[in-house]
């Protein structure tokens, strides 16, 4: 039997198990084989998952198996007199521990002082139980409190209580413990892993571009200035220029999972100042349709992987994820405006772009037809010096947006690889070419036709997880009013 409370030295143990110490035996046969050490020799790290405390996850506990050890936070406590039910939570789920006074009086006495969110470790016999989470409970033979949580908690973890988002974010470390919040970030990890897997399999090169630059691809109004030694610099707004330079350098197909910064003063449910992006660029394309094909196939693959591998998380979030198996519809920008005006009586204030309401209405239009994702192609070229114009069209460019569940998820298109033509566009749009000499020069030595896009990871997670606010899809979000935690 082991009963331990680490911080108030409550101990009643017949022996202190060596498996609870940070111990490691030296390789057998050596002179010091019986000694222990805080440092483990490199050749001892042979497991795919190395843990200093012996345990298994709650999801791996099987009823009527041999004695098991679990560890986690105390999610819920129910005291019924001579019976105490302890619900323990780890990353994989919940498990019930049943303390009976008549069976283990010392353990029963020790658990009387346990508090919500204490970190505990329990060893015991797993038993089948229809009333317990997961259909299994543990009859404990050992119990220890590894660390105690301060009380009262500023945020309830176990109770289904509505808490405003600001309070949740102020106490984010606690909020992240909630099973539903953890499910969001498990989905996020699955999505990113699946996308990277698809591009790796297709031969794309994983790249990392600078987060500090002298200027931005899309202008200076949205840039965060920083002091870089004795020079003025900015946090990166987009890796696009560097992606294009790599096309000129012969890399042909690249992707990046990275971060970008937008210094916009906003207060919406879809904008933040620090964003996670999945950027793609590929060379030797015929036109922008090739780029859309890549995005469509990779996104479909990622959604399919999540639907197959994250059923528990989707259930926790009450999400029925639809994988769009049909081709994504592709409509022109003019066709999008026509749908909005004729079916909804809506026309955006800026006639060169879709507004938030327009995206939402178009999303409803296509979801009614069974298409949660669709492309809008051929935006007016007056804002995009780096996009190729549509031949024989004085207005449209080869820029596209992907709309997913009523919200812009990505922007991309075919880039202008003719440097002289691009410089003319820059000058006509009032872009200071002197700020982009490194970019212009790189493309001037022979550049294949290419294109790409940037996909907002946070927005994708928001839509897949069915979240109201993009900040819920980011562990520690940044906006104009939030710089901590």
Task: Report the binding-site residues for ATP.
Answer: 262-264, 270-272, 408, 456-459
Cα 350 to Cα 87, 282, 337, 356, 390, distances in angstroms: 55, 31, 11, 11, 21
Q: Token digits for 453?
A: 């896009």
- Count other C-beta atoms under 10 Å from residue 226's C-beta: 12
How many CB atoms are closer than 10 A to CB 429?
13
Distance in angstroms (rounded) separating the CA atoms of residues 320 and 181? 17
Residues annotated in a binding site for L-aspartate: 218, 262, 411, 415
What sign does the dihedral 37-38-41-44 (CA atoms) show? positive
| The two three-digit tokens of residue 64, written as one number | 């009527």
Binding site: which residues? Answer: 218, 262-264, 270-272, 408, 411, 415, 456-459
The secondary structure of 329-350 as a DSSP string is PEEEHHHHHHHHHHHH----SS
Between CA 377 and CA 279 the distance in angstroms is 19
CA atoms within 13 A on the CB side of 351: 5
Q: Return the closest-CA partner of residue 399 out of 379, 372, 417, 429.
A: 379
CA distances from 446 to 217, 246, 298 (A): 20, 12, 29
Question: Are 249 and 201 contacting, i.e. CB atoms less than 8 angstroms apart?
Answer: no
461 phi, psi to nearest 5 deg: -60, -40
Output phi, psi for 465, to 5 deg: -85, -5
Rg (CA), the chain: 28
Other beta carbons less than 10 A from residue 436's beta carbon: 22
Between the CA of residue 410 and those of 120, 157, 196, 452, what are the distances in Å?
A: 44, 34, 16, 10
Distance of CA 57 to the CA centre of its chain: 22
The count of other CB atoms within 10 Å of the CB of residue 237 is 23
Detail the residues annotated as belonging to a binding site for Mg(2+). Answer: 408, 411
Q: Which conformational region is residue 297 in: left (phi greater than 0), alpha (psi within -120 to 50 degrees), or beta?
A: alpha
The span from the CA of 219 to the CA of 435, in Å, is 10
Q: Which residues pair with 147 in a beta bridge?
A: 119
Of 135, 141, 137, give the one whose Cα is nearest residue 110.
141
């Amino acid at each position: 039997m082991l009963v331990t409370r680490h911080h108030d030295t409550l101990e009643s143990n017949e022996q202190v198990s060596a498996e609870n110490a940070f111990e490691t035996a030296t390789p057998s046969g050596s002179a010091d084989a019986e000694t222990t050490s805080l440092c483990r020799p490199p050749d001892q790290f042979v497991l795919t998952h190395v843990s200093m405390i012996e345990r298994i996850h709650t999801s791996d506990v099987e009823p009527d198996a041999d004695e098991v050890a679990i560890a986690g936070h105390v999610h819920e406590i129910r005291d019924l007199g001579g019976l105490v039910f302890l619900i323990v939570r780890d990353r994989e789920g919940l498990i019930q521990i049943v303390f009976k006074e008549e069976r283990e009086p010392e353990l029963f006495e020790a658990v009387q002082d346990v508090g919500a969110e204490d970190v505990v470790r329990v060893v015991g016999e797993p038993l089948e139980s229809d009333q317990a989470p997961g259909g299994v409970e543990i009859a404990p033979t050992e119990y220890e409190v590894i660390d105690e949580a301060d009380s009262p908690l500023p945020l309830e973890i176990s109770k289904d209580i509505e808490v405003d988002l600001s309070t949740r974010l102020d106490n984010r470390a606690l909020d992240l413990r909630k099973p539903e919040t953890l499910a969001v970030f498990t989905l996020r990890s699955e999505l990113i892993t699946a996308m990277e897997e698809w591009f790796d399999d297709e031969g794309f090169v994983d790249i990392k571009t600078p987060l500090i630059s002298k200027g931005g691809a899309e202008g200076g109004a949205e840039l965060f200035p920083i002091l870089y030694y004795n020079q003025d610099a900015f946090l990166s707004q987009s890796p696009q220029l560097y992606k294009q330079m790599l096309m000129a350098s012969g890399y042909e197909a690249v992707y990046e999972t990275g971060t970008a910064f937008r210094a916009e003063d906003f207060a919406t449910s879809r904008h933040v100042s620090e964003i996670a992006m999945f950027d793609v660029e590929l060379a030797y394309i015929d036109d922008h349709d090739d780029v859309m094909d890549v995005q469509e196939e990779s996104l479909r693959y990622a959604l399919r992987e999540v639907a197959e591998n994250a059923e528990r998380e989707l259930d926790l979030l009450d999400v029925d994820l639809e994988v769009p198996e049909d081709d994504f519809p592709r409509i022109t920008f003019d066709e999008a405006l026509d749908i909005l005006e004729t079916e909804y009586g809506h026309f955006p204030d800026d006639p060169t772009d879709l507004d938030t309401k327009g995206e939402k209405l178009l999303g409803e239009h296509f979801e009614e037809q069974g298409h949660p994702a669709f492309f809008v192609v051929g935006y007016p070229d007056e804002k995009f010096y780096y996009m190729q114009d549509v031949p024989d069209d004085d207005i449209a460019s080869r820029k596209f947006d992907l709309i997913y569940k009523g919200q812009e998820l990505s922007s991309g298109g075919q880039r202008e690889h003719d440097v002289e033509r691009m410089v003319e566009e820059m000058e006509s749009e009032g872009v200071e070419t002197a700020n982009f000499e490194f970019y212009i020069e790189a493309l001037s030595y022979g550049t294949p036709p290419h294109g790409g896009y940037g996909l907002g990871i946070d927005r994708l997670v928001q839509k897949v997880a069915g979240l109201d606010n993009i900040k819920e899809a980011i562990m520690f979000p940044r906006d104009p009013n939030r710089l901590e935690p």
